[in-house]
Structure 1
Amino acid sequence: MLDAPQPLLPEIFALHGRWRARSPALVAPQRTLDWQSLDRSTNRIANALIGAGARHGDRVAMLMSNCIEMAELIVGIMKAGCVAVPLNTAISAESAASMLADSGAVFVFATADHAARVGAIAGIARIEVAGEGAPATAGWRGYADWLGGADAHPPAVPVAASDLCNIIYSSGTTGEPKGIVHTHGTRVAWAYDAALALRYHSGARTLLVTGLYSNISWAALLGTWLSGGTVVLRHVFDVADTLATIARERITHTAMVPVQYQRLLDHPQFWTTDRSSLQAIMSVGSSLPLATKAGLIETCRCDVIEVYGTTEGIITALDPEDAEGHLASVGKPLPGVDLLILDDHDRPLGAGEAGEIVGRSRFAMAGYWRRPEATAQALWVDGAGRTWLRTGDIGRLDEEGYLYILDRKKDLIISGGQNIYPADIEAVLMQHAAIAECAVIGVPSPVWGESPLALVIVKDAEAGDGEAIKHWLNERVGKQQRVAAVEIRDHLPRNPTGKLLKRELRAPYWPSV
């Protein structure tokens, strides 16, 4: 019998280096790599790690802005049999030290703009990726010097599906960040399912403007590369640069968070940009407001695909063919994914009933790194002994199986014993012509326990009358959903993937919590 196991990503990329040698794999402002060059450069990284003493399963951290070197490192670390630990570039020096200690990293790579946040730590080699010819920060070794004359031949390191591939730390929007672990088998499943859901192909040119530390970016990067396509990488998200890149690079695919799409639609240059090359765009990270979703469908003339998922591993997609009549939903589970809605006593609910979303899929995490109790809390075992992943999100399934997200379980407002979903109120607020962004939180009420409070950013300061907006809103929502007040804000805190930090918004109102 022919022994032909499922190839993992390191082998797939090596095969692209052989069979797609001269096709472009990675495009950045200063440099373009074809598949053969990417294969050779990532082999050099793997061999340099091994030569520097890295062992199978060692953790290798990265605190880096988007650049070719980080994309290469992700693959090189895989090829070395090590575990990639990409760190959020917005974290503090204290958080960086905590995550490095928690992961047990033995190497850390940083770009010059982030190196200052990583102090000397015993047992961790520090390598800095600086500009060409620029000296490394004191105490760091320069990347070019570290890479040196490392061999470009394939490293002799077997990688198994059960081996750990990466640890991606959660955003911390609902508590202390946890290291989410994926195996190589899980990661290649992510890539296959991303390619299927987002319609990547060998001619795809995928624009990446989200940070390479996030699972959003990993799904788009590895899904495109699995298909043999080209990734066009930008250093940061800038509206004008993004629009210019779409036109200049003939972008076919991209993955962004809702607030980025909204800023594109609001920019005057959007209407004069040549967007004719776009084939499919993905929105992920948080719910895409209906007006934004409808605006993208109407103006981009391409497949607009809203994806719901967690880094831990559940995913649904609203396909463009299903958008009409189901625009408010986040679609159906991908093939092989199963969903249930549970009540507060972990009993499955029927169609139309709201409860916690749980799911099963082949790309579920292996667990939280060194957090067995947190891992156990994230799982639910049904009567048949099958294990499901808890999402912490509240949703409902309709009769046809379309999933509707209502809110985060921890964001739920309980007022007078009634459940109020902030997302419902936010959806109405976003219909107001003067509002650019909004958030609804629960604040203490001596009568009801909690009452909704709306925090809004207005498009024009002269239009920012909180009382008038409150009156407008309360005429349009249910009696229990009426807000106690509307506060005008200049800024709403978000993490780098666009999620509102509601814990920060609530904190001043709940000082004793």
Structure 2
Amino acid sequence: MSQRLIDYVAQGFGTLCGFLDIHADEQPEKTALAHNDRSLTYAELNDRVNRFAAALQGDGLKPRDTVSICGLNGIDYVIGFLGTLRAGMTVAPLAPSSTPEALIGMLKDSAAKVLLVDQKSLDGMAPLLSEVDVRILKMEEAGSDSVTSFLAPEGTRPTPVEIDPDQPFNIIYSSGTTGTPKGIVQSHKMRWSHTRPTDPPGFGPDAVSLLSTPLYSNTTLVAFIPTLSGGGTVVLMEKFNTEKYLQLAEKWRVTHTMLVPVQYQRLMDFDGFDDFDLSSFEMKFCTSAPFNAALKRDILKRWPGGLVEYYGMTEGGGSCGLEAHLYPDKLHTVGKPLPGHDIRIIDEDGKELPAGETGEIVGASPAIMNGYHNKPDKTKETEWYSPEGQRFIRTGDVGRYDEDGFITLMDRKKDMIISGGFNIYPSDIEHLLRAHEAVADVAVVGVSSRQWGETPVAFVVRKPGAKATADTIKSWANDQLGKTQRLADLVLSDELPRSAIGKVLKRDLRDQYGEAQA
């Protein structure tokens, strides 16, 4: 690492674009970004980022204004993302799998002035775009309204902007179909904690990271950011495909990757997996969903390089890391708190519990959200303060420390479903189903799925005399749900099992469904 880079890291705070400047000066011909048949060197990427930032400023946007991006991974996506940050503005990446109504709601909530969008997402939103005042820039397209045509002339640099560590870096929206999903605001100070090229995972100039999860996901950003800050190469896939992933890994001699458990499962199940040369891998990462011990064991046996599982939330707070290759007897855990992360276990009354006892997991660290955008009450609900007055984020997960300081997850306190690495909230789907004229009562649970990890199944009690079939109600709901939220099955029931105080016993429903499928 150069002295300039060492000094930049040592100053205590900087920006991702600050690293980009350094790498563009010190290794201008190094490939920074590759996607399909396109690639950019650090000099080329830095120039385009500067030109995008200058164009935003020339269009009248000011620091802290919001630019939104909706589409699949690609080079234009990265130019827009980094260019927005360079101009001192906030990025609001949106999931293209969301419903058009939800996307418009997120654009309104973020007050986005510009929207970078791919053609498919634009077509979906088109009937509702009149509801928002936003400039449209098409990604991976030609023409007067494209990202490429928007760029300022070659060599243009933007007016320098001083970045406040606490100002928003991005707003990442949770999933949802009813109302507006919660926007998780993360600061430049939080993201600075992800830009440490000296970390043991080895995101230095020799790193080649293959990323197939979407850039609107925190999962991807925690690998994307340190790869670029360390001066490595990012290879993007717009969408995960098992065989293509393996081909790219072999072609680019990939050293690092971030995948969710369902992707690991598909790769390990692929017939030709062992025929590919993956000897270049140094470290693999996993997060976003439960990662079973048997799958970890198979990866360690058959895939070269280390394996690290991260446990945490997009909201931040405390995170854990399990270096599976170093602790093969701890594969049932999510590891220990990361350096600088304080994770505690509390009871229902908010009192801290000693090691060995089970309760809700709360965490604090430099990687913590500012709060939920425009939702101070929701922010307050997710906070817990220690007796010393330190702010923690509640995870909603239940777990305990073992005698060696590793955390075991026992269950999710909330009923969130994680499908293909994406969070699905049953209450959103239940709210929608209750709007159907035939539905009297409903509960949605996550059931095990080899393809997705988990998938949502609805249990519906019809109103007296209603004739709608399970398939009819399911199709009606799936037509309105986001792609990742669609129901795998809908079961008609005479009644839902409930506790003595009227709470639906969702575990009973999961067990009932599992027995019926056996």
TM range (shorter): 0.7 to 0.9
Specify whether residues 130 and 223 from structure 1 end up closer, same or farther in structure 2 by C-alpha distance, changes over 3 A only: closer
Distance in 2 between the 1:240 and 1:292 partners?
Answer: 19
CA drift of 1:385 comes to: 1.3
CA drift of 1:442 comes to: 11
Q: Where do 1:447-458 residues align within 5 Å? A: 450=505, 452-453=507-508
Which residue of the partner structure matches residue 479 of structure 1? Answer: none
CA drift of 1:213 comes to: 0.6
Q: TM-score, normalised by structure 1?
A: 0.79
Answer yes or no: is the 8 Å Cα contact 2:324–2:331 preserved in 1: no
Q: How large is the RMSD of aligned CA atoms in angstroms?
A: 2.9
Answer yes or no: is the 8 Å Cα contact 2:166–2:189 preserved in 1: yes
Which residue of the partner structure matches residue 361 of structure 1? Answer: 365
Distance in 2 between the 1:347 and 1:115 partners?
Answer: 49
Correspondent of 1:250 among 250, 253, 260:
253
Letter in 2 for 1:334: L
Letter in 2 for 1:390: R
Which residue of the partner structure matches residue 229 of structure 2? Answer: 226
Distance in 2 between the 1:124 and 1:322 partners?
Answer: 50
- List per-residue Cα deviations over 1:113-137 (Å, max 9, x = no partner): 2112332344311111243xx457x
CA drift of 1:332 comes to: 0.7
Which residue of the partner structure matches residue 77 of structure 2? Answer: 70
Q: Indicate the SS of the match to 1:392.
A: strand
- List per-residue Cα deviations over 1:377-410 (Å, max 9, x = no partner): 1111122211111111111111221011122212
CA drift of 1:325 comes to: 1.7
Correspondent of 1:120 among 93, 107, 130:
130
Q: Where do 1:412-423 residues align within 5 Å? A: none
Which residue of the partner structure matches residue 289 of structure 2? Answer: 286
Whether 1:86 aligns to 2:107 is no
Distance in 1 between the 2:384 and 2:365 partners?
Answer: 14
Answer yes or no: is the 8 Å Cα contact 2:143–2:149 preserved in 1: no
Distance in 2 between the 1:347 and 1:96 partners?
Answer: 39
Q: TM-score, normalised by structure 2?
A: 0.79
Which residue of the partner structure matches residue 445 of structure 1? Answer: 497
Answer yes or no: is the 8 Å Cα contact 2:52–2:150 preserved in 1: no
Letter in 1 for 2:404: E
Answer yes or no: is the 8 Å Cα contact 1:453–1:486 preserved in 2: no
Distance in 2 between the 1:233 and 1:175 partners?
Answer: 32
Q: Where do 1:94-173 residues align within 5 Å? A: 94-118=101-125, 119-131=129-141, 134-135=142-143, 141-149=145-153, 151-172=155-176
**Higher deviation after alignment, 313-322 or 7-16:** 313-322
- List per-residue Cα deviations over 1:123-182 (Å, max 9, x = no partner): 311111243xx457xxxx222322252653253222221222111112349996211111
- List per-residue Cα deviations over 1:87-132 (Å, max 9, x = no partner): 011111101100000001111110112112332344311111243x
Distance in 2 between the 1:233 and 1:445 partners?
Answer: 46
Which residue of the partner structure matches residue 515 of structure 2? Answer: 486
**Higher deviation after alignment, 145-154 or 288-297:** 145-154
Q: Indicate the SS of the match to 2:243.
A: helix
CA drift of 1:196 comes to: 2.6
- List per-residue Cα deviations over 1:326-379 (Å, max 9, x = no partner): 111111111100110111111111222211100110010111111100111111
Specify whether residues 196 and 116 from structure 1 end up closer, same or farther in structure 2 by C-alpha distance, changes over 3 A only: same
Answer yes or no: is the 8 Å Cα contact 2:76–2:140 preserved in 1: no
Q: Indicate the SS of the match to 1:84.
A: strand
Which residue of the partner structure matches residue 240 of structure 1? Answer: 243
Letter in 1 for 2:302: T
Whether 1:12 aligns to 2:19 is yes
Correspondent of 1:204 among 207, 223, 228:
207
Letter in 2 for 1:212: L
**Higher deviation after alignment, 312-321 or 208-217:** 312-321
Q: Indicate the SS of the match to 1:396.
A: strand
Letter in 1 for 2:505: E
Distance in 2 between the 1:358 and 1:307 partners?
Answer: 15
Letter in 2 for 1:389: I
- List per-residue Cα deviations over 1:453-479 (Å, max 9, x = no partner): 576xxxxxxxxxxxxxxxxxxxxxxxx
Letter in 1 for 2:114: F
Which residue of the partner structure matches residue 507 of structure 1? Answer: none
Structure 2 portions without partners, runs of 5+? 1-7, 417-444, 460-495
Q: Where do 1:261-272 residues align within 5 Å? A: 261-272=264-275
Answer yes or no: is the 8 Å Cα contact 1:41–1:72 preserved in 2: yes
Distance in 1 between the 2:171 and 2:373 partners?
Answer: 7
Q: Where do 1:296-375 residues align within 5 Å? A: 296-313=299-316, 314-375=318-379
CA drift of 1:451 comes to: 6.3
Letter in 1 for 2:24: G
